[in-house]
């Protein structure tokens, strides 16, 4: 900084020089830039250009007048949402559902991977992995249908419970069960698939470390704790930040599919609310405002989690 | 350098493809061009095409032009319709998306807009006022001359007409077919088998249901009977007619008008609480279908077809258990405090928004004259119920040459709803009471239901008025729809929860406080002032 303050002359000279050297560099490696160009173009077209549509959150959007032509209304839609009687309930449901999902859903694939890693017979390991991955490929619509069938008052689970009680439990119409159903069916479906990346990371552990540790008399748990987990730590950190980034962006499909008019108190989350207000009721401006609010909360959370992880992970974060 | 150019051109080309991919949905392709027609008379010399969006039942053919009604109409007018058709379950979403992306067709048939949508889309310029089109519409004019009350019902508070309505007259006042939607049907075969009388009080009904549950009335040795079933919070299948035994009763939109002209919310009434508490008692005894809070129409129907219900609720038993004598309409029951009411359903054979014309339409006169064909009496009747002379499937009518009118054919066991959804088209139409016997016969099921309504239900309807189709202003509608989303969802959820889990007695005062928090008082004010305004204009 002090160098810049001293004299203007060197900057004016060095700037074009830097640009031209950059250009030189690009020229030399143009093929790499061409390679990445489609990805950048796609990102700009599909991720950045639509951002300007977020303008309608501050307007009274009319499809005929278009985005620019619609009337400005300032923060009206935001105040409407923040003062609506169900605002707090929806926000709390969203945060609860996604944070519980993160807390339960995050460690399970790691445990799975550690267990798979201990299997020495590769044939058995392959088969078990296959069985674990399979549910990942079932569509969420089908999963929800299965959940409804299994948990119906006349379904198999209630038939088993019927041995102990005489009144069936209406799982799908009780808000208390919704989060558990949502999260555990998600774990069943996704944990195997999510463990792949950890299994791959564990495959890179130098076998000599394990041999040395065994010679020194380390038990299985000690080896996992001191060798496997430190190997996984960087992967875990990155994945955790990514998962935390998605905490408010929890997908609407499954919550919407598992929603019944009776479990609304815990199943109505911001994403389903946006869908109902925007696409079903056609109130695009309001829905956009709610979605934008969601995104802002999400960014704040992401930055916060990144800072925390940096502290815990010797200064290594994602951003 | 050559290589660079080559790669660059490929990248540019793919980029260009992407861009055109996004923008080639030019506006023109969704509505038709200006045909510059005036003084239109049908059939047209040269066939033209109008582009219209519509919805139909999943039972009906995906292409509406496969329906005989439209084939005949095309022949008669020389107007080909290019339909964009969606099934009713996804229609609302698709319609909203089309509007949001500016893909406006010439018109939207079966548009099903709420009053708020109508006024908002009119304000935004999506749809156009249609009162000037009526001059081209002799059939509609004739309907409005005969029944002038509909003109004021079509007109918005700002004096414009924004949509063409559906008018179906079946009985008047209390004797209208819409006076009660969910009829209770009781299994008299089971009653006979067990030697029981048709219950007349709530207590008797409870005893009957217990007998249904425990005494194996279908004598198959299994306790698979479902003493009572319904679909909670589903207008036509909801058990609200039982609520009248405890107070003012209940209906699908929780709104009744007392004879003093006071608008009341049924769900805030003492009797409502008692009714729920009684239903909870039944539920705890295992007398209510445990699936009543979750199942959909298809499950409900299949259990009904297996004759497993002792008492169930629907518009017409023909659609569920058939027209046999095994089920009979259950008359209103007397409650413990002597109430024996039927709260009237706020329904009438009038739907404001069945067809809207969009601002993309360049052939207003042609469109008006085509729509007018739908208001032709014989056409209206067919559009509403189905047609005649179809060689490929069952017909609802036959054409009586000598009387020059349409006669209903016997249904022969087919559920009326199913047959109608397959062959009719709905949309804007008008069927006046004076048509019966001139243009067409009254459908047997409607005549039968009207008779039942008059004999069984009407004597117990204390209220002289229903809450009418008030056309509110856009500001009022904005407030109403915001409040109703939260308020009604809450009421419905609590109702189901209390019936299944109990607790209504303890939670009642909290519930009333929550209703107020969700805007109950403001809702009541708007509804009341709307009602008074309507009465003044009448």
| pLDDT reading at B351 higher than 50 | yes
| B101 to A30: CB separation less than 8 angstroms, yes or no | no
Mean pLDDT in residue range B112-127: 91
**Quick check: B112 and B164 in contact, CB under 8 A?**
no
| pLDDT reading at B504 higher than 90 | yes
Between the alpha carbon of residue B324 and those of residues B188, B330, B456, the distances in Å are 11, 15, 19
| pLDDT reading at A20 higher than 90 | no
Which residues in chain B have their CB less than 8 angstroms from residue A63's CB? 99-102, 124, 126
Phi, psi of B448 (to 5 degrees): -65, -40
Token pair 């709610």 is found at A290
**B8 in reach of chain A (CB within 8 A):** yes
| B99 to A63: CB separation less than 8 angstroms, yes or no | yes
Determine the pLDDT at residue A318. 66
| B233 to A261: CB separation less than 8 angstroms, yes or no | yes
Which segments of chain A belong to CATH 1.10.3720.10? Answer: 85-139+170-312
Mean pLDDT in residue range A228-241: 88
**A155 in reach of chain B (CB within 8 A):** no
Nearest to A64 among B7, B124, B482 (CB): B124
The mean pLDDT of chain B is 89
**A50 in reach of chain B (CB within 8 A):** no
Which residues in chain A have their CB less than 8 angstroms from residue B517's CB? 85
**Quick check: A199 and A225 in contact, CB under 8 A?**
no
Phi, psi of B388 (to 5 degrees): -125, 165
Its ipTM equals 0.74
Give residue-wise pLDDT tens across range A281-298.
778 889 899 989 988 888
Mean pLDDT in residue range A43-50: 90
Instruction: For B155-181, give one letter per residue: b (16+ CB within 10 A) or e.
Output: bbbeebbbbbbbbbbbbeebebbbbbb
Mean pLDDT in residue range A246-267: 84
Residue of B nearest to A31 (CA): B4
Which residues in chain A have their CB less than 8 angstroms from residue B105's CB? none
* C-alpha–C-alpha distance, residues B163 and B156, integer Å: 10
| pLDDT reading at B515 higher than 80 | yes
Is residue A24 exposed (0-12), middle (13-18) or buried (19+ Cβ within 10 Å)? exposed
| pLDDT reading at A95 higher than 90 | no
Nearest to B493 among A63, A168, A262 (CB): A262
Q: What angle do CA A142, A143, A147 make, to 5 degrees?
A: 115
CATH number for the segment(s) A85-139+170-312: 1.10.3720.10
B201 — pLDDT class (breaks 50, 70, 90)? very high
Mean pLDDT in residue range A226-231: 90
Which segments of chain B belong to CATH 3.40.190.10? Answer: 38-173+349-446, 183-343+472-537
Mean pLDDT in residue range B242-255: 93
Mean pLDDT in residue range A168-189: 90
- Closest chain B C-alpha to A16 CA, distance in angstroms: 25
* Least-confidence region, from A70-79, B16-25, B66-75, B455-464: B16-25
* C-alpha–C-alpha distance, residues A277 and A294, integer Å: 14
Structure tokens at A178: 């919704």
**A83 in reach of chain B (CB within 8 A):** no
Which residues in chain B have their CB less than 8 angstroms from residue A67's CB? none
B23 — pLDDT class (breaks 50, 70, 90)? very low
Determine the pLDDT at residue A15. 57
Which residues in chain A have their CB less than 8 angstroms from residue B486's CB? 84-86
Chains A–B, number of C-beta pairs less than 8 Å apart: 85
Please list, in sequence order, all residues whose beta carbon lies within 8 angstroms of the beta carbon of residue A109, skipping any fewer than 6 positions away. A190, A191, A192, A194, A195, A198
* C-alpha–C-alpha distance, residues B313 and B288, integer Å: 12
Nearest to B293 among A148, A170, A264 (CB): A170
Q: Which long-range contacts (CB under 8 A, 24 or more apart) does B100-103 make?
A: B100/A63, B100/A282, B100/A284, B101/A63, B101/B25, B102/A63, B102/A64, B102/A66, B102/B27, B103/B25, B103/B27, B103/B30
> Which carries the bigger pLDDT value, residue B234 or residue A106?
A106
* Least-confidence region, from B125-134, B286-295, B360-369, B377-386: B286-295
- Closest chain A C-alpha to B528 CA, distance in angstroms: 23
- Closest chain B C-alpha to A161 CA, distance in angstroms: 15
Phi, psi of B455 (to 5 degrees): -75, -40
Determine the pLDDT at residue A47. 87
B371 — pLDDT class (breaks 50, 70, 90)? very high
| pLDDT reading at B1 higher than 50 | no
| pLDDT reading at B9 higher than 90 | no
B10 — pLDDT class (breaks 50, 70, 90)? very low
**Quick check: A268 and A86 in contact, CB under 8 A?**
yes
**A172 in reach of chain B (CB within 8 A):** yes
Give residue-wise pLDDT tens across range A210-226.
889 989 988 889 999 99
B19 — pLDDT class (breaks 50, 70, 90)? very low
Pick from B382, B384, B417: nearest CA to B399: B382
A299 — pLDDT class (breaks 50, 70, 90)? confident
| B500 to A170: CB separation less than 8 angstroms, yes or no | yes
Please list, in sequence order, all residues whose beta carbon lies within 8 angstroms of the beta carbon of residue A270, skipping any fewer than 6 positions away. A90, A91, A94, A248, A290, A291, A293, A294
* C-alpha–C-alpha distance, residues B149 and B167, integer Å: 11
H/E stretch holding B334: none
Determine the pLDDT at residue B350. 92
**Quick check: B398 and B405 in contact, CB under 8 A?**
no
The mean pLDDT of chain A is 85
- CA torsion, ordered A55, A61, A62, A68, to nearest 10 deg: -20
Sign of CA dihedral B425, B431, B436, B438: negative
Domain B183-343+472-537: CATH superfamily is Periplasmic binding protein-like II (3.40.190.10)
**B158 in reach of chain A (CB within 8 A):** no
Which residues in chain A have their CB less than 8 angstroms from residue B516's CB? none
**A260 in reach of chain B (CB within 8 A):** yes
- Closest chain A C-alpha to B294 CA, distance in angstroms: 7
| A64 to B125: CB separation less than 8 angstroms, yes or no | yes
A10: helix, strand or coil: helix
Nearest to B11 among A37, A148, A264 (CB): A37
Between the alpha carbon of residue B36 and those of residues B33, B76, B137, B290, B365, the distances in Å are 9, 20, 19, 62, 10
pTM: 0.81
B338: helix, strand or coil: coil
* Least-confidence region, from A63-67, B404-408, B430-434, B462-466: A63-67
Mean pLDDT in residue range A241-261: 82
Mean pLDDT in residue range B383-399: 90
Determine the pLDDT at residue B332. 95
Between the alpha carbon of residue B110 and those of residues A140, B121, B235, B481, the distances in Å are 32, 16, 20, 21
How does DSSP classify residue B111?
Answer: -
* Least-confidence region, from A243-252, A255-264, B78-87, B242-251: A243-252
| pLDDT reading at A312 higher than 70 | yes
A319 — pLDDT class (breaks 50, 70, 90)? low
- Partner residues linked to B86 by β-bridges: B55
Helices (H), A106-246: 107-118, 122-133, 140-151, 156-161, 175-203, 207-215, 220-223, 229-245
**Quick check: A202 and A282 in contact, CB under 8 A?**
no
**B124 in reach of chain A (CB within 8 A):** yes
Domain with residues B38-173+349-446, CATH architecture: 3-Layer(aba) Sandwich (3.40)
Please list, in sequence order, all residues whose beta carbon lies within 8 angstroms of the beta carbon of residue A189, skipping any fewer than 6 positions away. A135, A136, A138, A143
Mean pLDDT in residue range B169-195: 92
- Closest chain A C-alpha to B246 CA, distance in angstroms: 25
Mean pLDDT in residue range B471-490: 90
> Which carries the bigger pLDDT value, residue B174 or residue A13?
B174
B99: helix, strand or coil: helix
């Amino acid at each position: 900084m002090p160098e810049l303050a001293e004299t203007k002359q060197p900057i004016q000279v060095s700037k074009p020089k830097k640009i031209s050297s950059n250009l030189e560099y690009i020229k030399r490696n143009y093929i790499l830039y061409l390679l990445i160009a489609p990805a950048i173009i796609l990102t700009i077209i599909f991720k950045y250009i639509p951002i300007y549509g977020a303008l309608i959150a501050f307007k009274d959007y009319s499809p005929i007048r278009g985005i620019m032509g619609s009337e400005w209304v300032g923060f009206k839609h935001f105040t409407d949402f923040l003062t609506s009687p169900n605002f707090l309930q929806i926000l709390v449901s969203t945060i609860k559902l996604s944070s519980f999902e993160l807390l339960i859903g995050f460690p399970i694939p790691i445990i799975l991977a550690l267990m798979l890693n201990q299997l020495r017979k590769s044939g058995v390991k392959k088969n078990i992995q296959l069985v674990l991955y399979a549910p990942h490929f079932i569509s969420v619509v089908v999963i929800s249908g299965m959940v409804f069938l299994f948990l119906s008052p006349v379904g198999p689970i209630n038939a088993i419970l019927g041995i102990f009680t005489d009144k069936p439990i209406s799982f799908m119409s009780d808000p208390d069960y919704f989060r558990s159903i949502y999260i555990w069916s998600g774990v069943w479906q996704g944990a195997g698939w999510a463990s792949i990346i950890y299994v791959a990371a564990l495959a890179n552990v130098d076998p000599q470390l394990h041999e040395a540790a065994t010679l020194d008399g380390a038990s299985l748990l000690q080896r996992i704790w001191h060798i496997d987990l430190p190997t996984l730590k960087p992967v875990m950190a990155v994945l955790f930040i990514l998962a935390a980034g998605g905490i408010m962006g929890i997908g609407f499909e499954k919550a919407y599919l598992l929603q019944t008019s009776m479990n609304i108190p815990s199943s109505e989350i911001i994403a389903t609310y946006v869908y109902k207000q925007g696409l079903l009721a056609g109130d695009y401006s309001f829905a956009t405002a709610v979605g934008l609010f969601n995104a802002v909360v999400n960014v704040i959370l992401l930055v916060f989690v990144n800072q925390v992880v940096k502290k815990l992970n010797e200064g290594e974060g994602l951003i | 350098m050559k290589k660079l150019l080559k790669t660059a051109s490929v990248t540019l080309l793919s980029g260009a493809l992407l861009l055109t991919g996004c923008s080639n949905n030019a506006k023109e392709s969704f509505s038709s061009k200006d045909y510059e027609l005036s003084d239109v008379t049908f059939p047209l010399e040269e066939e033209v095409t109008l582009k219209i969006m519509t919805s139909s039942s999943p039972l009906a053919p995906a292409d509406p032009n496969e329906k005989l009604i439209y084939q005949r109409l095309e022949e008669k007018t020389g107007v080909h319709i290019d339909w964009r058709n969606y099934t009713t379950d996804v229609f609302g979403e698709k319609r909203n998306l089309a509007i949001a992306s500016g893909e406006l067709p010439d018109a939207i048939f079966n548009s099903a807009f709420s009053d708020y949508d109508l006024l908002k889309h009119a304000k935004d310029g999506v749809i156009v006022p249609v009162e000037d089109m009526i001059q081209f519409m002799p059939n509609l004019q004739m309907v409005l001359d005969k029944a002038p009350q509909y003109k004021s019902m079509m007109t918005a508070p700002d004096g414009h007409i924004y949509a063409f309505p559906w008018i179906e007259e079946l009985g008047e006042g209390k004797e209208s077919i819409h006076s009660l939607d969910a009829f209770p049907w009781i299994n008299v075969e089971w009653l006979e088998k067990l030697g029981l009388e048709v219950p007349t009080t709530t207590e008797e009904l409870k005893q009957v249901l217990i007998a249904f549950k425990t005494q194996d009335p279908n004598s198959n040795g299994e306790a698979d009977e479902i003493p009572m079933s319904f679909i909670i919070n589903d207008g036509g299948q909801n058990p609200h007619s039982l609520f009248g035994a405890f107070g003012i009763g209940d209906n699908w939109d929780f709104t009744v008008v007392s004879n003093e002209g006071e608008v009341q919310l049924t769900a805030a009434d003492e009797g409502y609480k008692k009714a729920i508490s009684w239903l909870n008692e039944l539920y705890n005894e295992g007398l209510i279908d445990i699936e009543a809070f979750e199942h959909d129409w298809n499950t409900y129907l299949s259990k009904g077809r297996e004759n497993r219900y002792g008492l169930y609720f629907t518009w017409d038993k023909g659609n569920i258990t058939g027209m046999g004598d095994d089920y009979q309409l259950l008359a209103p029951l007397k409650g413990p405090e002597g109430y024996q009411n039927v709260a009237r359903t706020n329904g009438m054979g009038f739907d404001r928004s069945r067809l809207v014309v969009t601002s993309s339409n360049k052939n207003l006169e042609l469109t008006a004259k085509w729509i007018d064909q739908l208001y032709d009496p014989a056409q209206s009747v067919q559009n509403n119920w189905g047609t005649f002379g179809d060689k490929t499937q069952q017909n609802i009518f036959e054409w009586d040459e000598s009387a020059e009118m349409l006669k209903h054919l016997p249904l022969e066991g087919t559920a009326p709803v199913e047959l109608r959804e397959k062959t009719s088209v709905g949309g804007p139409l008008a069927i006046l009471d004076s048509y019966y016997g001139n243009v067409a016969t009254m459908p047997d099921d409607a005549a039968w239901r009207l008779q039942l309504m008059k004999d069984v239900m009407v004597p117990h309807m204390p209220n002289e008025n229903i809450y009418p189709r008030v056309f509110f202003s856009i500001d009022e509608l904005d407030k109403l729809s915001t409040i109703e989303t939260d308020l009604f969802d809450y009421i419905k959820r609590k109702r189901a929860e209390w019936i299944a889990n109990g607790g209504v007695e303890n939670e009642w005062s909290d519930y009333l406080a929550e209703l107020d928090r969700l805007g109950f008082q403001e809702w009541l004010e708007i509804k009341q002032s709307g009602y008074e305004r309507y009465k003044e204009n009448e």
